[in-house]
Structure formats: structure tokens, C-alpha cells
Structure 1
Amino acid sequence: MKPNPRILLPFNFTDACVAALQYASQLAAHLGADIVLLHCAGDTQLTATYQSHLMSRLGSFTDRYMGPALKSLTRFCVVRSGFLRENLPSVVENHRVDLLVANPEALLEDIAPGQVLSLPEFASCPMLLVPPQALFQPLKEIVLSVDLTDLDAGVLERVQKLARTFSAHLTLLHLHGNVEAVQLCQLQKAATQLRAELTYRNTTIVCQEEEDLLEGFNDFSELYTPDLFVVATRDTHLLHEYFSGRYRKTSAYHLHTPLLNLYQAHKTACSGGCTHCNTRERQLEQETVSAAQG
């Protein structure tokens, strides 16, 4: 018999993690998934007695906040010494985790400003970051950020499968800068070709003029209230930007929307608006020019 999918939730007993727990447990119920709760004790000495105490505390918290209807979910409690980032890879592998659900601050808090880390080094599975304001409801509107000139078949198939599971409407959102008529025609042609190849028909392809990905998400959220944004990137830059202080101060619409990250190595910079990618792109161009001149 095929085992149930597994959702991993890092948990440090904060209100934000409680919100992520409530979201993850309801998502698990809809997907028929099991939940793995992970608590990392940090520098505190993890004696057998203290470990037993933390395991009991994890169990009592889930009983208290998941609600009676969700207590039937299969739960695994894991307590480790050390910190989250150093424990995630092995827990994901050992417990065969299919999806990591986390409060963004818990996942990204130890990353210094401007530091960019590889996401696959955190965990090999997809990541769903749930802001404290987000409330779970069965997904009705899923928005995937795409570059019509740089598509990944695996990412597209995974998102279509998710939309099919919830019978949700799927929007493929392509953001672009101010382009010439010829380029716009090429984008429209690519959209037409993609539409013919999609296996999930309840899908709309939207091309929107906006260079900055997060501004585009915010504008889209204001009009359509999506239940989930999906991006495909391989480092922490975009996730940090999504949940950055500049958006919290303005209470941006997208801050109420969970963000699912899949993995794709992009050929081009993220939506033309990613500072890290654009800087790296310029470095590669300079290296190419220097090599040619040398």
C-alpha cells in the first residue's frame, strides 16, 4: 500500500508557528497526509528527560490547536539538538517528507541581510511558507509565476496536479517590462502554444506589464484574492524579499497569501526584477567579455 504523503512542520511554540500548524493540519486533512513536527532545542543540552518533556509538549500543543476533527491525523514528533537549518536535510530524508510547511521567520531568521543561500541545501522537498495572517481554505485560486521563455515541464505538471486535487482555477502569471510590439507578439504566441500543451484546462495565462515580481503579486492579490502563490527558484533571495519589512509596513495584499516554492534553475533572472539574479547575470556577462578579451 502506498504510504501517505508527509508534511514537515518546524515548530518552536510561537504564535506564528501555531498559525502554521493550523494551516498545515487542515492542508494535511485535505491531502490525506501525515504530519511530522520538528523542534530544535538549539544550544540547550538535550537530556533524555528534557527530550521527553519536549515531545510531550509537542503532542499537547497539537492536541490543543489542531482541533478535535484533526486529531485523527497521524503525527510524528521529532526533537533534535542544534538549530533548524542544520537538522532539516536529514529530517526530510529520514522521514521521507514530501512538503515542508513553515512560518517564514522561523525558516529564514538566521540568514544575514543580503546573504543568499541555496534552498535545496535547506531541504530537497518543496517549501510552503505560511505568513501568520494566512487562514486555510480549500484552494480555489492558485497563481504560478512563470517566464514563458523559460519554462520547466516538471514544475508545470506539479502545479497542475495540485490545482486538479482542489479543482482550483490556475493562473499562469507572466510579468514583463515595457517591451516592443514584436516581443509582445512573441509572448502571446508562446502563451498560445503553452495553452495547447496544458493538461489542466481550468487555467488562464496572464501577461502583465510589471518588472518587479512582488509588486506584480501585490497588484494581482488586490484584484483576485489568490489562495496560493507559487514560484520556482533555488535560493532564498526571493523568499526574503516576499516577506521583507518593506511589505509588512504597507500591509501588502500578498502578505496574507502563502507562498509555495518549487525548484527550477532559471536561464534568466527572476521576472526581470530580482536584484540578486540581475547582479549575477551582469557578473556572468562581464566574465564572458573578460574571457573573450583574454
Structure 2
Amino acid sequence: MKPVKSILVPTDFSPAAMNAYRYALRLADELDAAIHLLFALPPAVSAPGYGSFVNVTDLMIDNSRQDLLAFYRKGLTLEAGKLRHVPAIQTYVEIGDLRYSIRRQVQREKNDLIVMGTTGSQGAWDDLLGTNTSVLMNRAPCPILIVPEQATYQPLRDICFATDLQGTAPFQAGSLLRSLRPFSPRMHFVHITTGDDKVPQYGLELLREVFDRPDKGYHATITERKSPHVTRAIFDFAGERDCQLVVMHRPERGWLNRLSKGSRTRDAALHTPLPLLILTDEVVVNASAEEAGMDAMAGS
């Protein structure tokens, strides 16, 4: 995970989006990052119409810009007394599907993190978090931080990193620690086994050797538990360790595989009681275990 210098916050002007924006303001303040607020008008408004269609479209865009400006100011007003300095903030109104507007924005502006709100499985963001948005969650060019509507910002002192001991995803923890260095967080790795899991590609001891390095100023705990309810067990563990953030990796899988087995990260996103950071394959592949883990521990 790269250092976070630019945070994208998509909004639909809902309370959940406002909460995510307020969270992003506090996070950006700590990380010295800029914020990009994005509102996407539905694609229908860009379709050809009759007579005054162009004027109507221009009016909708202008109104959206005014709404976004009011949203921007309200969030700043609510958080003003808690910020050490006001992050640089830019606003964007796009016409198009939200998923692809987000991807275009990240690719164009080189955002390092997406922060978005959710009200859970009954929220208006269901489509974005569900199977229709696998393109975004599987192939996002940067990590996605999902903030529940009732979650409040807390400094990231303890982080729960859920791992299935497959691939190089856990070694992203090294670059994650480096990105969040202003917080000096402790990393709590947890592996939940159901009894019928794949054979691990490596053991928990490797993670301990790499990340539990008090001599370098890094502290980690490594825990394994058995439970048939993986998502619930992860959040229970995070609660016990008083974590302020849960990290999960969402591997890219074929649609048939997702249909038959479901998605633990989607389930987690819809039910998380804590801010949830999702790393995707496109993010993980950009950092090898050596670069993201061991080099970070060396304290560059």
C-alpha cells in the first residue's frame, strides 16, 4: 500500500456519506493528505432528449455542484474544532455510473485511497457493495476504506488484519504500517479456520518473524481461531483487541465461484461495525512480500 496523499470520497449526500467524509477529514489531517469529493449524476441525464434537454442537464450539473459545495462546507464545519489543519479539498461532479466514475477519477487523479460510507445491507449503497460492483472491489486501483454510518473516527492504534495464509496479501501489512506511521499502530493478525480450509501456503510463525519486531519499533500479535462463522469471528476478535480498523483482502474470482461460495469481504462490508479496509488483487500484486513486508520492517 502506497503512502496516502490523496483520498477520494464518493458521496450521494446521505448521512452515511457525510460520516465517511468526516472520517476522511480526520484521517487526511493525520496523514497530511488531500481530499477529492466526487458526486456522480446517473447516466440517464446524459442521454439524448428533447428541446431543452441540454439546459436541463446543465441545470442539474450546476445544482449538483452547489449541493456538493454545501456538503463540503457542512463536513468542515462539523469537524473544524477537531482538525489541526484543514486538508486541501477539491470537488468533482461527473455524469456516469458511480463505479466507473470512481475508477476514472482514481486513474486520472492518482488517488491513493477511497473512503466511502455504508448503512449496511439495507443501505442505498447495496449495489456498490454487492455483486454488481465486483469490478470496483476486485480491481480497484487503490484500497477501499468502508466506514459504517455509526462509526466515529478513532486514531488507528490497533489494527486487525484478517488472513487466510494464502498469497502475499498479509505482507501488505508492512507497507500499510509504513503508510500509517503517524499512528504507530499495533498489528493483530488473525486466521480464522473453519476446518475445511485450503492448506496454508505458510505458517503463522513467518508472520511473527516478519512483523513482530520490537527492536524496529513494530509490534504484532498472531492468533488462530476455529469458527464456522468467519466474518463474525473476525469482528469478535477485533472487538476483543479494541481495534479501530479491520483489514481484509478480496481476491479476484470468477463469477461462478463467487455465486457458489459467496464473498466474505462483501459480507463483511455489509455488516462491519468498524471501519473496514479492503485490499484487492490489483493492489496486492503491486507489492511483493519482500517490498511490502521485510523492507518496511527495515525502517526505510
| TM-score of the two chains, using structure 2 as the length reference | 0.71
Q: Structure 2: give runs of 5+ residues left out of the alignment.
A: 47-55, 253-257, 283-300
Correspondence for 1:242: 268
More relative contact order, 1 or 2 (CA 8 Å, 6+ apart) = 2
Spell out, residue by residue over 1:254-280, the C-alpha distance to the aligned partner (whole angstroms, 9 max, x if none): x32010011248xxxxxxxxxxxxxxx
AA paired with 1:94? R
Correspondence for 1:57: 67
| TM-score of the two chains, using structure 1 as the length reference | 0.73
AA paired with 2:127? D
Bigger drift between 59-68 and 98-107 goes to 98-107
- The separation in 2 between residues aligned to 1:231 and 1:84, in whole angstroms, is 23
AA paired with 1:238? R
Correspondence for 1:80: 94
Per-residue deviation, 1:135: 0.4
- The separation in 1 between residues aligned to 2:154 and 2:95, in whole angstroms, is 34
Spell out, residue by residue over 1:148-187, the C-alpha distance to the aligned partner (whole angstroms, 9 max, x if none): 35434751222222453311111111222349xxx99x84
Bigger drift between 157-166 and 146-155 goes to 146-155
Spell out, residue by residue over 1:62-87, the C-alpha distance to the aligned partner (whole angstroms, 9 max, x if none): 21222335583211111011220121
Structure 2 residue 172 is the aligned partner of structure 1 residue 146: no
- The separation in 1 between residues aligned to 2:21 and 2:133, in whole angstroms, is 27
Q: Structure 1: give runs of 5+ residues left out of the alignment.
A: 248-254, 266-294
CA contact (8 A) 2:212 2:220 kept: no
Correspondences of 1:174-253 after superposition (within 5 Å): 174-178=191-195, 187=203, 189-195=205-211, 201-235=218-252, 237-244=263-270, 247=271
Bigger drift between 123-132 and 66-75 goes to 66-75
AA paired with 1:161? R
State, as a whole percentage, how many aligned pairs show the same letter: 23
Structure 2 residue 32 is the aligned partner of structure 1 residue 22: no
Per-residue deviation, 1:210: 2.6
AA paired with 2:64? L
Per-residue deviation, 1:107: 8.7
Spell out, residue by residue over 1:188-247, the C-alpha distance to the aligned partner (whole angstroms, 9 max, x if none): 544554456896521111122234331212321342221000011135933321144xx5
- The separation in 2 between residues aligned to 1:107 and 1:9, in whole angstroms, is 16
- Equivalent pairs counted in the alignment come to 250
SS, match of residue 190 in structure 2 = strand
- The separation in 2 between residues aligned to 1:53 and 1:188, in whole angstroms, is 54
SS, match of residue 66 in structure 1 = helix
Correspondence for 2:297: none
CA contact (8 A) 1:155 1:264 kept: no
CA contact (8 A) 1:138 1:166 kept: yes
AA paired with 1:24? A
Correspondences of 1:274-285 after superposition (within 5 Å): none
Per-residue deviation, 1:112: 9.3
Correspondence for 1:101: 115
SS, match of residue 214 in structure 1 = helix
- The separation in 1 between residues aligned to 2:71 and 2:139, in whole angstroms, is 25
Aligned alpha-carbon RMSD (Å): 3.3
AA paired with 1:63? R
Correspondence for 2:255: none
Structure 2 residue 76 is the aligned partner of structure 1 residue 66: yes
